[in-house]
Structures are given as structure tokens and as C-alpha cells.
């Protein structure tokens, strides 16, 4: 949520001149996206988002993300569409960083989450999975189960005492997740970070999905598990099964889960909570106090993980067993 | 340069419903303005800036700023124009803060300052002063000469050693400025903070002046002195007399300085450097390291003040003596 790289008026004008979008009318740094610098760029013809990719995004992976947004947009998913310059390229450089212009999506992220939001997100996620089915590129999920133990160890080595207690608590979860993690489930392109910040609504309808920079190839049901953690818990830590039923029901109305996915869902939800707990814990312990971004409190995800530990059946997530094809 | 207050989608929708601007299409927190939170607000009819006034702006002073922008815009100055709601009010509340919507100005702040920019700014500043001549409200300049000694003392009390040396160096300037500061010079509404960040250009023409939240009633020539400090020094600390001649010449082509203003100008420029040196020093010493805003380095203004100390005549600022009516 910060502007890491300031760009000058002349640099922006030269950059935009590579595209057939008219001249720059205004360019404002916006507080959107955690990893990259984003500008809202108004030209004579339309409004766009200009993204400068900062160090946390690996440059060799950018073609995956750019191609994915193009593919999904072409298949009707309301996501940013990269613009191609007069030279045919969608990726070029600005201020010594890779940069791209994408279309501007209308709508706002919801703050107070309702069951209606969950219905819309569930349906959109399933449509995204179907649209991604014939996407030819692959990207390994660098934040899946095999990354968790090293992340936990990196936090365990930290001097803060809070970490030591937490590391002890997580040891049993870690073993359980590693030994039980499925080897085979339906896989494909997943968003992997579909939090409310990354979904826009307008007039009650889902109008946009943004921030594909964690997207990768992984189990589709894991993406639903990430969503359930992000959309179906209340701020007091309680699980809202009404929202979960809506999310899962809407998802399954478009793409029914297989029996294996249904069976594995509690483990996937538990793992999804571990993934966000670990990255938040790591950022919490390692972000310098002078950073532009305030790290998110990991405790929220500890509460979610404690919930998942106690779950005994996929039904507790509102997953309809009859629909599990 | 930060979003201090996050506003929710429902709150923004309810706020905008008070105006005849259609429904909200998008609302993005932007990195503009140091004191307040600004959103770029796109509605069905146009794009606006939504400002939430944070604690450093005193609520009882907001009517001065709102009225001033209305007055100047009505007199042809390209500045943001506050919108009035259906109830006639331009100021209302959002997230427990005073808030207003203003028109969106096209253009971008220049990064590499040229003599042409200085010409445009000099002329615009003089036009602003003429347009403000019949503005009926007054606001004391709380950052003028009488505030400087307390500010210096507040920094002197700080434990950092760099402050002690600097405080010694500034003692002589302080006495000189306090004893010599003019009692009477032509006064009126001044912008008081017309830095490049607050001026937009488009296609080589000045297209906007923003951020009136330091505006006050004070000597008009002091505003020109603030501008000269902000626009006519190079990044290596050297004074660019070509730019100064352009700035002062363009200003005087619209509003010639009086002989008294001409005579007082070196002192005013010296004082303007002191004002920004002191507030930057104060912020430098007192901003917590966790703050969203990085304080500006005061050293830049120390260099400028050292330049002003050595000036012996108004002519050294490129001020044309023949035009000093």
C-alpha cells in the first residue's frame, strides 16, 4: 500500500508515448497493492493502472502474470487487461523497473463482508478456474506446503519471544500438514490471494478481480480454501458457516468438487491458514520499523488455524456432500 | 504522502449521495498531500478529489480554505473548486473527520525544473495575489517570524547532537530576522507553500495550483520569496539566477513590487528559508520512525539560508530595480 518508486512527469510522458492511448492528463500514485508501485494514469482517452514491479516480484515471472491476465480477460473474467505498446510489447521499463499498463476496473473493495459478497466470490472463483483450464503456462506455488517449514524456522530463529511459543504450537500442525498433504487433486491456475482487497464490487455486483502476482499452478480446491479463510471469518475470530455455505455453494454451482477434493478440504483450509500465518509472522518479525507498509498481525490467522484443528468433517465448512461429484 | 484514514465502500457511497455527481465508480487512496488523506474519486459524471482533514488541520480554519479556493477559482485561478452538496454545504464529515470534495485538476508536477516553469509560476503567483485582493476572510500566518524562535527552542531541547550545532549557527540569523522583519508591506492572501509538488503542468502550461492548507494573510512578497527558495536552487545547493530572473520578472510583469518590497526582499528570502528549515528540522527530530511520512531533510534549507546570509542587494535575486514601482 505504498508508492515505492516516484516517477517524473517526463518519464511517464515518454513511457505512455509508446502506447496508442493519447497524452497523459494526470498520474497519481495510489495506495493499492502491497508488493508493487501503482499509479492511476489518466490519458486523453481513458484511465489506466501503471504498475512498476518492485524487487519482490521476480522479473522472469512477469510474462506468466501478464499472459494470465490477458488469457482470463479474454475468457470473460473481469480482471485487468495488459495494454500492448506500438512495438507489440506489454512489458517495458520505467525508472529502471519492469513496468506495464493495464485497464482500470470500476468498483470498490467491500469493507463489511456479507453472504451476498461470498456468493459472488465463490461463483467468480469457479469461473476463474474454468477460464484458466486451457492456460498453457505453469508457475510453481512457491508458498505451498514445502515452503512452510523453512518459513517457520526463519521465524523461530528470531529473537522475539512471542515467536518461540508460536513455533512450539505450530510444530504439530506442521507435521500433520506435511504428512497428509495430497499428492494429486484437480489442479490449474489459482489466484492464491483472493482477499476482499483484491475484489471490487459495484452496485452489488462483482466488477473486478485484481492482483494476480501470487497466481500459480496448484490445487483448485486450495484456492477455495484460501477464500474461505479470507471471507468467512468474523473479526472476532468466529467462523460464519452461512457465508461459507454461500461461498462453497456458489463455487460448486459452477464447478462441483470431486470426492477427493471434498475429503481433502479440511486439510487444505488448515494449510491455507498456515500459509498466511507464516508469511504474516515472517513479515511481522522482519519488516523494519521504518517500512512504508505496516505488516498485518499474524494473530488473526492463528485463530483461524485453531478453528481448523478442531474440524472433523468437510460438512463443517458448509460443503454440500451431494454435490461432491 | 499517505492514506491516514481508510474509508469503506458504504461510507463513501453514502457521502457521495449528498452531492449531485452520480454514483461512485471507483475510489483510490492517493499519495498526495502531506497533512491530509486524499482519495481520487471517480463517479458516473466526473473525477474528483475527496479530502479527509486530519488532525494537523484545525477544523475551525477549514471554512477559510474552502472559501479561498472557491474565491480564487471564481477569479480564474486554476485551483480545486469545492463542491456543494444538495444541502448547500461544502464541508461535511466522513469517518469522524471533516471532509470535502473538490474538482480534479489535470496535469503533473514537474520533476526537472526549467526556467520556463519559473516564468509560469511567477506569473501565476502574481495573478493569485491579485485575485485574492478582495477576498474578505483573514488568517494569521502561524508560521511567520514570531513562531520561529519557539520552533528553534523545541529543536534545541532535543537530545540529538546535530541539533545543538545547528541551533548555535541559527542564533545570529534569528536575531537578525526578528529585529529586521518589516512591520508594513503590501499584504493579502498568500499560498505560503507553492512548491513544485503543488503546481501542475500540462503540455508546457501551468494547469493547476493545489494544497491551500498553509494559505494565510501575510506579505505578498514573502510568498514570492518562498517560491524563489523552492524553484530557483539546484540540487547541488547553488542558486540559479536565470530561474530567479524569470520567476521575479514574470511576477513583476503582472504585479510590480513596491520599492519597500524590493528593499525587503533579501530579508524575506532569508526568513522564508528559516521557516522551512525550522519546520523540517522539527519534523526530522520529532517524527516517529514508524510514521507513514518520511520527513524531508532540513539540510537543503540550511544551504539556502547560508546563501541568503551572503546576499548584499535585491539585485542578486534577479529583481529588476526599474520595475520596483
Per residue in B6-36, pLDDT (tens digit) is 899 999 999 999 999 999 999 999 987 667 8
Query: What's the rounded mean pLDDT across residues A135-140?
Result: 97
CA–CA separation, B268 and B221 (whole Å): 8
Please report whether residue A178 resides in a domain: yes
Average pLDDT over residues A202-231: 97
* Contact present, B199 and B209 (Cβ < 8 Å): yes
Name the minimum distance, in Å, from the CA of B209 to any CA of chain A.
14
Alpha-carbon dihedral of residues B238, B242, B248, B249, nearest 10 degrees?
Answer: 180
pLDDT given at position B168: 86
In this prediction, residue A284 carries a pLDDT of 85
CA atoms within 13 A on the CB side of A141: 22
| Average pLDDT value for residue range A313-319 | 91
Which residues does chain B have within 8 Å of residue A12's beta carbon, measured at their own beta carbons? 108
CATH of the domain at B304: 3.90.1200.10
A67 alpha-carbon distance from chain centroid:
17
| Contact status, residue A293 vs residue A287, Cβ threshold 8 Å | yes
Same structural domain for residues B186 and B80? no
Q: Are A78 and A224 found together in one domain? A: no
Within a domain: A64: yes
Among B103, B124, B159, residue at a domain's last position:
B103
| Grid cell digits, residue A157 | 530463529
Q: Are residues B195 and B309 in the same domain?
A: yes
Interface test with B, best of A11, A28, A32 (most B CBs within 10 A): A28
Neighbours of B307 (CB within 10 A): 18
Burial class (CB in 10 A: 0-12, 13-18, 19+), B157: exposed
**A13 class by beta-carbon count within 10 Å (0-12 exposed, 13-18 middle, 19+ buried):** middle
pLDDT band at B156 (very low <50, low <70, confident <90, very high): confident
Least confident of A32-41, A167-176, B126-135: A32-41
pLDDT digits (tens, 9 = 90+) for A142-156: 999 999 999 998 888
- Taking 80 as the threshold, does the pLDDT of residue A287 lie above it? no
Q: Helix or strand or coil: residue A125? A: helix
From CA B281, how far away is CA B62, in angstroms rounded?
26
Lowest mean pLDDT among A256-265, B180-189, B297-306: B297-306
Q: Per mean pLDDT, which range of A158-172, A255-269, B240-254 is the poorest? A: A158-172
Whether the per-residue pLDDT at A96 is higher than 80: the answer is yes
Q: Is the domain of B97 the same as that of B144? A: no
What are the cell numbers at A247? Answer: 461461498
Q: Are B192 and B180 in contact (CB under 8 A)?
A: no
Mean pLDDT of A248-274: 96
pLDDT at A4: 75
A90 pLDDT higher than 80: yes
- Residue A108 included in any domain: no
The verdict on residue B136 lying in a domain is yes
Cell 519534523 appears where?
B283
Rounded average pLDDT over A80-94: 96
Tell which residue, B34, B241, B212, B246, has the closest CA to residue B128.
B212
Q: Which helix (H) or strand (E) holds B284?
A: helix B259-286
Asked if residue B293 and residue B198 are part of one domain, the reply reads yes
DSSP SS3 for A233: strand
Residues linked to residue B207 through DSSP beta bridges, in sequence order:
none
Instruction: For residues B261 and B179, state if they share a domain.
Output: yes
- Comparing CB atoms, the residue among A25, A28, A106 nearest residue B30 is A28
Same domain, A171 and A300: yes
pLDDT tens per residue, range B183-207: 999 999 999 999 999 999 999 999 9
SS3 track for B201-241: EECCEEEEECCCCCCEEEEHHHHHHHHHHHHCECCCCCECH
Question: What was the pLDDT predicted at A230?
Answer: 98
Q: Note whether B30 contacts A26, CB cutoff 8 Å.
A: no
pLDDT digits (tens, 9 = 90+) for B269-289: 999 999 999 999 888 888 766
**Number of domain units in chain A:** 2
Chain centroid to CA A322: 29
Asked whether residue B132 is assigned to any structural domain, the reply reads yes
Q: Is the per-residue pLDDT at A290 higher than 90?
A: no
Q: What is the CATH number of the domain that holds B43?
A: 3.30.200.20
**Of B103, B128, B155, which residue sits at a domain end?**
B103
Cα B259 to chain center, whole Å? 26
Query: DSSP 3-state assignment of A47?
Result: strand
Higher pLDDT, A192 or A152: A192
- Shared-domain flag, residues B203 and B156: yes
Mean pLDDT (whole number) for A265-283: 95
Once rounded to an integer, what is the mean pLDDT over residues A278-300? 79
Lowest pLDDT segment from A285-289, B44-48, B198-202? A285-289
* Grid cell for residue B106: 489535470
What pLDDT does A155 receive?
83
Q: What separation in angstroms does the CA of B163 have from each of A290, B39, B59, B296?
A: 21, 36, 32, 15
Average pLDDT (A296-325) is 86
Which of A74, A103, A132 is the endpoint of a domain? A103
Chain B residue numbers touching A110 (CB-CB < 8 A) = 9
**Cross-chain residue pair B108–A47, CB shorter than 8 Å:** no
Range of the domain at B95: 9-103
The SS3 of residue A82 is strand
Strand partners, A278: none
Buried b or exposed e, range A88-106, using 16+ CB within 10 angstroms? eebbeebeebbbbbbbbbb
pLDDT value, residue A158: 73
A4 is a domain residue: no
Integer-rounded Cα radius of gyration of chain A: 20
DSSP notation for A219-230: EHHHHHHHHHHH
Mean pLDDT across A157-163: 68
Distance CA A224, CA A236 (A): 22
Contact B29 A31 (CB under 8 A): yes
How does the average pLDDT of chain B come out, rounded?
92
- Contact between A125 and A227 under an 8 Å Cβ cutoff? The reply is yes
Whether residue B216 is predicted with pLDDT greater than 80 in this model: the reply is yes
Q: Is residue A3 part of a domain?
A: no
Band of residue B1 on the pLDDT scale cut at 50, 70, 90: very low
Residue B96 and residue B123 share a domain: no
Task: Tell me, yes or no, whether A2 lies in a domain.
Answer: no
Are residues A32 and B31, on separate chains, in Cβ contact within 8 Å?
Answer: no
- Residue A30 has its nearest CB partner, among B12, B30, B111, at B30
Residues A95 and A120 in one domain: no
Query: How many residues can be counted in chain A?
Result: 325
What average pLDDT does this structure show over B244-254? 97
What span, in angstroms and rounded, lies between the C-alpha atoms of A238 and B257? Answer: 69
- The HSE-up count of residue B165 (CA atoms within 13 Å, CB side) is 5
Q: Are residues B55 and B148 in the same domain?
A: no
Dig out the grid coordinates for A120 from the structure. Answer: 459472488
Which residue would you say has higher pLDDT here, B168 or A92? A92
Q: What is the pLDDT of residues B71-114, one digit of tens each?
A: 999 999 999 999 999 999 999 999 999 999 999 999 999 999 99
Q: Please, which pLDDT band fits residue B231 given cuts at 50, 70 and 90? A: very high
Q: Other CB atoms closer than 10 Å to residue B164's CB: what's the count?
A: 13
A161 or A139, which is more confident: A139
What residues of B are in contact with residue A11 (Cβ under 8 Å)?
111
Supply angle C-alpha A20, A25, A31, rounded to 5. 100
Q: Are residues B92 and B123 in the same domain?
A: no
Rounded to the nearest angstrom, the minimum Cα separation between A29 and chain B is 5
Amino acid at each position: 500500500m505504498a508508492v515505492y518508486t516516484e516517477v517524473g512527469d517526463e518519464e511517464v510522458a515518454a513511457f505512455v508515448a509508446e502506447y496508442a492511448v493519447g497524452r497523459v492528463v494526470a498520474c497519481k500514485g495510489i495506495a493499492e497493492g502491497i508488493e508493487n508501485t501503482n499509479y492511476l494514469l489518466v490519458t486523453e482517452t481513458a484511465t489506466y493502472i501503471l504498475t512498476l514491479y518492485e524487487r519482490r516480484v521476480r522479473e522472469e515471472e512477469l510474462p506468466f502474470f501478464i499472459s494470465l491476465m490477458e488469457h482470463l480477460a479474454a475468457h470473460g473474467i473481469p480482471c485487468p487487461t495488459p495494454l500492448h505498446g506500438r512495438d507489440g510489447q506489454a512489458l517495458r521499463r520505467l525508472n529502471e523497473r519492469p513496468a506495464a499498463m493495464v485497464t482500470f476496473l470500476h468498483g470498490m473493495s467491500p469493507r463489511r463482508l456479507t453472504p451476498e459478497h461470498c456468493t459472488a466470490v465463490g461463483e467468480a472463483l469457479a469461473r476463474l478456474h474454468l477460464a484458466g483450464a486451457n492456460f498453457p503456462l505453469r508457475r510453481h506455488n512457491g508458498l505451498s506446503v514445502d515452503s512452510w517449514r523453512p518459513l517457520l524456522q526463519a521465524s523461530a530463529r528470531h529473537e522475539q519471544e512471542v515467536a518461540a511459543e508460536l513455533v512450539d504450537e505450530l510444530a504439530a500442525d506442521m507435521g500433520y500438514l506435511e504428512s497428509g498433504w495430497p499428492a494429486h487433486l484437480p489442479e490449474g491456475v489459482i489466484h492464491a490471494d483472493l482477499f476482499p482487497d483484491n475484489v471490487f464490487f459495484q452496485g452489488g455486483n462483482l466488477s473486478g478481480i485484481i492482483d494476480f502476482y501470487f497466481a500459480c499452478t496448484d490445487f483448485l480446491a486450495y484456492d477455495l480454501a484460501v477464500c474461505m479463510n479470507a471471507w468467512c471469518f468474523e473479526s472476532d475470530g468466529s467462523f460464519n458457516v452461512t457465508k461459507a455455505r454461500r461461498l462453497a455453494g456458489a463455487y460448486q454451482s459452477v464447478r462441483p468438487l470431486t470426492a477427493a477434493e471434498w475429503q481433502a478440504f479440511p486439510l487444505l483450509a488448515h494449510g491455507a491458514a498456515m500459509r498466511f500465518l507464516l508469511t504474516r509472522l515472517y513479515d511481522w518479525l522482519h519488516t523494519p520499523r521504518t517500512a512504508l507498509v505496516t505488516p498485518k498481525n499474524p494473530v488473526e490467522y492463528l485463530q483461524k488455524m485453531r478453528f481448523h484443528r478442531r474440524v472433523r468433517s468437510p460438512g463443517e465448512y458448509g460443503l454440500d456432500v451431494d454435490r461432491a461429484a
